[in-house]
A and B are shown apart, each in its own frame.
Chain A
C-alpha cells in the first residue's frame, strides 16, 4: 500500500496509465477495420483474397487505377502493336493484358455524394437554425406539441417509410434527382437539428438580441449579428452530425437513385472486376469516401468537442 497522500479527485499516475492503456486498446479495435480497408486498397486482386490473409505484401495502386477506369482485355498481338505506354497507370493496366477504355463512373458518384451531402447539410442547418431560434424565443402556439411532433418523425427508422416515399417520388419526378435526395436527407435530419440547435439557442441569453434591437437593428439583423456568432459552436456540431448521416446513407440511396443522382455508397459495392468483385478497387473507393468526413471533422473538431460539453463548461 502506498503511503503517499493524494487528492481524492485527481487520478494517480497509475490510474492515468491504466486509463491511457484502455483508450489506446479501444482506439486500436475501432481503427482495425479502417486499417484493413486501407491495406486492401493497396493490394493486388490476388493478394486481397488470399488465405490466410497477407499482412506483408507488395503495395500497388492497381485498386485506385481500377476504381477510376474501365478496362478491356486484349489479345497479345494487339498489345504488342501498341506504342509504349505514356503513363504509369497505362503501364500497370497493360501488365494485366488490358487497355484503359475510359473513366469509370466513380468520379461522378463521388461528386453526387458531395453535392447531396453538403447540400442537404447546408439546407438542414439553414432551416434548423431559424426554426430553433423561433422555438427558443417566440411564444409559438402548441409549441411543446410541435416539438414533440418534430421529434416523433425520428421514432421509426427512416427506411420504414421507404415505400411511400418511393411512390411519392416517382409521382413527383423526384426519383434519381439531386434535389430529391437533398430534400429527403434534409427532412430526415431536420428533426435532430431543430432539437440540438434549440438547446444551443436556449443557452444564449436573450438580452443580447434585445440590446441589439434597441441599438437600432431589426430582429433578423440582431439574429445575424449577435445570435449567430454565438451559436457557431452548436451549429458546427449539428452540421457534423447531419453531414455524417447524409454522407453514409445507403438504403434510400440504393432505392431511389440509379444513375444521374446515385451517391457513392450504393455504387462502391457494385465495382466488378474479372471473376467477381474487385476488392482492392472497392476498398480504394471506401478509403477515398472516408476522407471528406474525416477532413470536415478535423477542421471542426474544436467546435465539436466544445459542442458536446457545451452545457457543462459555459457557466
Chain B
C-alpha cells in the first residue's frame, strides 16, 4: 500500500474544464470518498490517477514517485469499474488470474491458483470459478470485479461507483464487506460515488467535488456538521439542509455578514414555541417522520424521531438550538460562530 498525492491537476476536454487545479492527498491505508454531482470530475480524477487520462498540467505521485507520464501498467493501481468490465471470453477463474498472468508479474501457476482461491473464498464466489464471466448475476459480477482488483495487492485501489448498479440490499451487504476488507488489508482506496450513505459509512475522509474543484475534504462528521460552504452543506443530508433567511428567526444572534442560516432537519425543534408554521405534509418513514413546514412562504423540513401525531393543515411553532445553526455569507462561505456542536 502507498499514499497518493495529486498536485495542481488540470484537465480539459475540448472547451469543457473537467479538473481545475485539483490538489488531493490520500494517506497510506486511508479510504477517501469523492462525492459530487454528475460531471463534477470524479471519474476524470480516478482515470488520471490510473493513467487512462493524461492531465494537461500538474503531477500525480503514488508512494512518493512521480508517475504523471507513466503508462497505467506500471503504476500498480487497481481499478473497479462501474460496469464491472469482466472479460467476457474468460471464466471467473481466468478473470481473477488475469492480473497475475501479466508479463510484469509472471506468477507461477501454483501461486496464481492459491491467490485466486483465497480471494474467491473471501468474496464467497468459490463455487462460481469455472463459470463464464457473463453467466453471473449482477452481485456476483461485481464481486468478481472487486476480486480482480484485490487479487494482486496493488499500491492503490480506485473504485468508480462500484456498487451503483446493484439493488439496494446487495449494495448494503457489499458496502459492509468492502469496509471490512479495507480495514483487514489496510488498503489505500480512492472511491467515487454520488450516494451519500456510501460516502458517510465508508469514508475516512470525504472530498466534495464540484465543477472540477475540491470544495472541502474532511472526515464525514465534519463535512456534515461544519461544511465549508452552502454547496457542501447541500450535498449531504436527507432531507436536505434548510436554508433560511435570518429575518425568519427572531432574537437571532448571528455574525453581521450572515446572509443565509442553515439548519439540519433534525435540529428543528417542534416544541410549540418560536416561529409559527403550517404543516403541509407528514411522511412516516418508520423510525423517523419527515414533517414539511411552511413559514412566511419559506418551505422547510423537520426530522422527528419516532411516530408523530402531527397532522397536515395544523399550525405548529418551531425553534432552533443556537449551537446547531450554520451561518453563511452572501458568497455561500460559512462564517465562524455557528456549528459548535460538531
Q: Mark A204-235, 1 if CB is under 8 A from B, else 0.
A: 01011011111111110100011001100000
Q: Which of B69-77, B218-226, B281-289, B321-329 contacts A (4 or more CB under 8 A)?
A: B69-77
Bound CA–CA A218/B148 (angstroms): 18
Q: Mark B111-155, 1 if CB is under 8 A from A, else 0.
A: 000000000000000000000000000000000000010001000
Q: Mark A109-138, 1 if CB is under 8 A from B, else 0.
A: 000000000000000000000000000000
Contact check, B89 vs A216: say whether CB atoms are below 8 A apart.
no
Contact check, B102 vs A217: say whether CB atoms are below 8 A apart.
yes
Chain A nearest CB from B181 CB (Å) reads 19
Q: How many A-B residue pairs have CB under 8 A?
A: 61
Q: List residues of chain A with CB within 8 A of the CB of B309.
A: none
Contact with B85, one of A211, A219, A225 (Cβ below 8 angstroms): A211
**Interface-central residue, B75, B102, B105, by most chain A CB under 10 Å:** B102
Q: Does B103 contact A (CB under 8 A)?
A: yes
Q: List residues of chain B with CB within 8 A of the CB of A211.
A: 79, 81, 85, 87, 148
Q: Does B50 contact A (CB under 8 A)?
A: yes
Q: List residues of chain A with CB within 8 A of the CB of B50.
A: 210, 214
Interface size bucket, B side? 20 to 34
Bound CA–CA A225/B101 (angstroms): 11
Which A residues from 186 to 218 make CB contacts under 8 A with B? 205, 207-208, 210-218
Contact check, B89 vs A230: say whether CB atoms are below 8 A apart.
yes
Contact check, A208 vs B104: say whether CB atoms are below 8 A apart.
no
Q: Does B83 contact A (CB under 8 A)?
A: yes
Q: Mark B99-111, 1 if CB is under 8 A from A, else 0.
A: 1001111000000
Contact with A214, one of B52, B87, B89, B105 (Cβ below 8 angstroms): B52
Contact check, A215 vs B89: say whether CB atoms are below 8 A apart.
no
Bound CA–CA A294/B165 (angstroms): 46
Bound CA–CA A230/B50 (angstroms): 24
Instruction: Determine the residue in chain A with the shortest Cβ distance to B73.
Output: A216
Bound CA–CA A207/B75 (angstroms): 17
Contact check, A230 vs B85: say whether CB atoms are below 8 A apart.
no
Which A residues from 16 to 67 make CB contacts under 8 A with B? none
Q: List residues of chain B with CB within 8 A of the CB of A229.
A: 89
Q: Does B337 contact A (CB under 8 A)?
A: no
What is the interface size of chain A, counting residues whose CB is below 8 A from a CB of the partner?
18
Contact check, B99 vs A213: say whether CB atoms are below 8 A apart.
no
Q: List residues of chain B with CB within 8 A of the CB of A219.
A: 71
Contact check, B103 vs A213: say whether CB atoms are below 8 A apart.
no
Q: Does B303 contact A (CB under 8 A)?
A: no
Q: Does B98 contact A (CB under 8 A)?
A: yes
Bound CA–CA A219/B52 (angstroms): 11
Contact check, A207 vs B83: say whether CB atoms are below 8 A apart.
yes
Chain A nearest CB from B233 CB (Å) reads 35
Bound CA–CA A229/B98 (angstroms): 15
Instruction: Determine the residue in chain A with the shortest Cβ distance to B84.
Output: A207
Instruction: Determine the residue in chain B with the shortest Cβ distance to A210.
Output: B52
Chain A nearest CB from B38 CB (Å) reads 18
Chain B nearest CB from A129 CB (Å) reads 16
Bound CA–CA A212/B72 (angstroms): 9
Q: List residues of chain A with CB within 8 A of the CB of B152.
A: 215-216
Q: Does B88 contact A (CB under 8 A)?
A: yes
Contact check, A217 vs B87: say whether CB atoms are below 8 A apart.
no
Q: List residues of chain B with CB within 8 A of the CB of A216.
A: 73, 99, 102-105, 152
Q: List residues of chain A with CB within 8 A of the CB of B102.
A: 215-217
Contact check, B71 vs A213: say whether CB atoms are below 8 A apart.
yes
Chain A nearest CB from B15 CB (Å) reads 16
Instruction: Determine the residue in chain B with the shortest Cβ distance to A228.
Output: B89
Contact check, A213 vs B89: say whether CB atoms are below 8 A apart.
no
Contact check, A207 vs B85: say whether CB atoms are below 8 A apart.
yes
Chain B nearest CB from A205 CB (Å) reads 7
Chain B nearest CB from A143 CB (Å) reads 15
Q: List residues of chain A with CB within 8 A of the CB of B83.
A: 205, 207
Chain B nearest CB from A85 CB (Å) reads 57
Contact check, A214 vs B78: say whether CB atoms are below 8 A apart.
yes
Bound CA–CA A5/B280 (angstroms): 53
Q: List residues of chain A with CB within 8 A of the CB of B51.
A: 213-214
Chain B nearest CB from A182 CB (Å) reads 31
Contact check, A214 vs B85: say whether CB atoms are below 8 A apart.
no
Question: Knowing that A212-B87, A217-B73 are A-B contacts, what are 15 other residue pairs whose CB atoms are under 8 Å apart, sorted by A's residue number?
Answer: A205-B85, A208-B85, A210-B72, A210-B85, A211-B79, A211-B85, A211-B87, A213-B73, A214-B77, A215-B78, A215-B102, A215-B152, A216-B99, A216-B103, A216-B105
Q: Which 3 A-B pairs have the closest CB atoms?
A: A216-B102, A215-B99, A207-B85
Instruction: List 10 A-B residue pairs with CB atoms under 8 Å apart, sorted by A's residue number.
Output: A212-B87, A212-B98, A214-B50, A214-B79, A215-B99, A215-B102, A215-B148, A217-B73, A218-B73, A230-B89
